[in-house]
Structure 1
Amino acid sequence: MLRRQFHHLLTASVAASSFLSPVLTHAQSRVLLRAGDQKGGLQALLDAAGELKNLPYDIKWSEFPAAAPLAEALNANAVDFGPIGDAPLLFTLAAGSRVKAFAVSRSDAYGTAVLVAPNSPLKTAADLKGKSIATNRGSIGHFVTLKALESAGLKAEDVQLRFIPPADAKLALTQGSVDAWATWEPYTALAETSGHARVLVNGRGLWTGLSYLAATDAALAEKATVLQDFKERVERAQVWSYKNAKPFGQSLARIIGIPADAAQLQFERRATRWQDIDAQVIADQQRTADFYLAAGLIKQRLDVRATFDTRFNTGKA
């Protein structure tokens, strides 16, 4: 009976106060949530919106420069969950990681882009043939690169891919040791507003804009009520951020340590909205997985339905 009641609470769209009993209200057994984050991500959003105040559990934050090291931390059970794009999530799942997506957001894909130096002679995706492109292996930047090449009738073999992290990739582009850099926000906005790069190919029409909160199977089993509360705080904070765009942009710049114009640009351009994991999300994710299979980045077809935990849906999608 208790199991049936727990399942009902977990799937129903109810207030957090009723959902979270008894785990979050028992002061003598506070849960520790080990949260992974990426630059410009969750902690800054929640802090600015006041959603980190009076938490009924503890959070230990770990920040990562990109999805790949965050995925490694999830696989090693060093963190309970973290934000990750659709492509890198597939990459780590195909490698055998025991994680699932339990929340999803969709954003404008423009800022996931292939960048070039401001004075670069490259004008279109077709011009990338024979050129060198820096990105993270398995990242959404890598994915958009492959889709951009496909749109121009090119293959991965037609370019030189250099798999290096964002800071090194930016340096390589500014120093001229690579011809292009495929990255995501806030790195795109930083490069644009600093005058170090311009967008050659943006992600619109190439990438779904899907990103997830993904958690280990262990965390989903042991800390479900806490993860549900955290998800609801993120959703409220996102709504708050767009109602308070200017002050949030200023706060975001201060918290993550980037110039205000870059913070404002990447935040407003993303237009992030959280939603339920629905049939469209699953279909879009399956297409991305099938594309990675065709590109040879994963070796076997992945049925993505098994990689989602839909218990956290609100039913309001």
Structure 2
Amino acid sequence: MLLPALSQAAPGAGDAPKEIRIGFQKSSVNLTLLKHRQALEQQLKGVKVSWFEFTAGPQMLEALSVGSIDFATTGEPPPIFAQSAGSNLVYVGAEPAKPGVSAILVKPESTIRTLADLKGKKIAFQKGSSAHYHVLRAVQQAGLQWTDITPVYLAPADARAAFERGSVDVWAIWDPYWAAIEQNTQVRVVATGKGLVNNLSHYLSSRSFADRYPKVIQLLFEELTRSDTFVQKNRDEAVAIIAASTGLDKPTIASFLERRPRSPVVYLTQNIIDEQQRVADNFYQKKLIPKVVNVRDAVWLPPAARQQ
């Protein structure tokens, strides 16, 4: 669903909260540019905009679930795990698929050459993250069972350390962490997400925030899409801004953005919902989440769309 046209005026005093708390991570390109551009601060006069960085999606959605932030973006699995745990979050929007921005990595000398070679190996990844689903799909593609591998649940920085010292055989990770290790460590890619996972990015909020401030959600999406346009048209400047924000070097960010497709933000479509439901069903069927998740129960749409 395309974004409905914004009115010329920004949301009025009654249409916006006193503060908007936004969660982001190093992979959140559009949010990083939005933070730098200060477009929300300029349009929402008198509204405090606070920004909180997280290492990965599961940690971010935990904060969203307890009310510490109002708006966040993650890959596909984190909201599924959150919903299965009873969180009251809602999907409010999404970016297109990015299958090429994640990878299953080994060291150059590794004997692992194919996905079938993952059998019996220790694989590090963030539990409940996009990497979790990437590994699940890789195992399935190889004709293996989940029990054929040893998952090692670690946050990105700890997973990289374990991978570099040889405590695990494989690291499943997304950009820009993948791009970062490529800059100073020799790694070999066993598989990217292409042909395995879609890697959609989802935007999430609490249901109460979205219901109360739909014009703010709409404004966020407009400005996030403008941020993406900026990335596409001003690549060198975008690289510099994101590098400064993340603390990563420019070659790392340039490599990341080269793999990242154009990413405007839209409200959820039926195709996006169906794809997310397939991910949720796969996790449940493999007993990786405790109960069936109905994605549609957590989908929020703007008032105008509900009347269609």
- When normalised by structure 1's length, the TM-score is 0.88
Residue from 90, 95, 100 that aligns with 2:80: 90
State whether structure 2 residue 147 is matched by structure 1 residue 149.
no
Structure 1 window deviating more from structure 2 (36-45 vs 155-164): it is: 36-45
Match of residue 173 from structure 2: 183
SS of residue matched to 2:204 = strand
Match of residue 288 from structure 1: 279
From the superposition, tell whether residues 210 and 198 of structure 1 become closer, same or farther in structure 2 (CA, over 3 Å). same
How many Å separate the matches in 2 of 1:96 and 1:78? Answer: 17
Over the aligned positions, Cα root-mean-square deviation in angstroms equals: 2.2
Shift of 1:116: 1.2
How many Å separate the matches in 1 of 2:303 and 2:129? Answer: 26
State whether structure 2 residue 223 is matched by structure 1 residue 223.
no
SS of residue matched to 2:160 = helix
Residue from 23, 28, 31 that aligns with 2:18: 31
Shift of 1:200: 1.4
Letter paired with 1:17: Q
Match of residue 106 from structure 2: 116
How many Å separate the matches in 2 of 1:286 and 1:13? Answer: 25
Residue from 19, 36, 45 that aligns with 2:33: 45
Residue from 126, 144, 157 that aligns with 1:136: 126
- How does 1:254-273 map onto structure 2 within 5 Å? 254-273=244-263
Letter paired with 2:139: L
Shift of 1:19: 6.2
Shift of 1:44: 2.1
Note if contact 2:232-2:262 (Cα within 8 Å) is conserved in structure 1: no
Shift of 1:31: 2.1
Shift of 1:38: 1.0
Note if contact 2:25-2:56 (Cα within 8 Å) is conserved in structure 1: yes
- When normalised by structure 2's length, the TM-score is 0.91
Shift of 1:179: 0.3
From the superposition, tell whether residues 118 and 250 of structure 1 become closer, same or farther in structure 2 (CA, over 3 Å). farther
How many Å separate the matches in 2 of 1:263 and 1:151? Answer: 30
Match of residue 311 from structure 1: 302
From the superposition, tell whether residues 246 and 304 of structure 1 become closer, same or farther in structure 2 (CA, over 3 Å). same
Residue from 148, 168, 172 that aligns with 1:158: 148
Match of residue 171 from structure 1: 161
Residue from 288, 291, 308 that aligns with 1:297: 288
Residue from 278, 284, 303 that aligns with 2:269: 278
Report percent identity of matched pairs: 30
Note if contact 1:36-1:79 (Cα within 8 Å) is conserved in structure 2: yes
Note if contact 2:26-2:246 (Cα within 8 Å) is conserved in structure 1: yes
Residue from 185, 190, 201 that aligns with 1:200: 190
How many Å separate the matches in 1 of 2:8 and 2:305? Answer: 15
From the superposition, tell whether residues 313 and 126 of structure 1 become closer, same or farther in structure 2 (CA, over 3 Å). farther
| Structure 2 stretches lacking a partner, 5+ long | none
SS of residue matched to 2:98 = coil
How many Å separate the matches in 2 of 1:121 and 1:153? Answer: 19
From the superposition, tell whether residues 168 and 196 of structure 1 become closer, same or farther in structure 2 (CA, over 3 Å). farther
Residue from 126, 149, 162 that aligns with 2:116: 126
